[in-house]
Amino acid sequence: MMEKFKRFMYGRYGVDLVSLAVLVVGLVLSTFGQWFNLIILTLFSYALYIYGLFRIFSKNIPARQRELTILMKYKSKVRGWFSFKKKQVEERKLYKYFGCPNCKQKLRAPRGRGKIQVTCQKCKTTFIKKT
Ligand SMILES: [Zn+2]
């Protein structure tokens, strides 16, 4: 039985983070779909199950790896945004955060200095900011 399965899976992509994420989201959606009796959510969750299983048994390994790369990039962006927000909250009493009026680069300045002249590190624009 195990041997048969191993032979079947040979050359196939197998489980990765994308398939797991798709299956977990499908599970959550189908649960919500049943709770609130929303047929559209249940149908969408079936589509996710099919897609997740399709990925696991897929033989097009480069395409599946590309999908994984996209997810990892997205994941690190989301994580980066959260860690920046966390830092901002932790330092809110010490620093004031604001965006450059020219290039929107995120900048910070120590609080309680009154009106100061700020020079953007990225585009060298100078402007006055009250801290
Ligand atoms: Zn700038």
Chain segment 47-82, per-residue pLDDT in tens: 999 999 999 999 999 999 999 999 999 999 999 999
Amino acid at 70: I
Q: Provide the sign of the torsion angle of the four alpha carbons 46, 31, 70, 103, taken in this order.
A: positive
Say how many C-beta atoms besides its own lie within 10 A of residue 87's C-beta.
Answer: 13
Q: Please give the distance, rounded to the nearest whole angstrom, from the Cα atom of residue 121 to the centre of ligand 1.
A: 7
Q: What is the largest CA-CA distance in the chain?
A: 75
CA of residue 119 to ligand 1 center, whole Å:
8
pTM of the model: 0.63
> What number of residues does the chain have?
131
The pLDDT value recorded for residue 62 is: 94
Which tokens in the block code for residue 70? Answer: 């996209």
Q: How confident is the model at residue 131 (pLDDT cuts 50, 70, 90)?
A: confident
Dist. CA 46–CA 35, nearest whole Å: 16
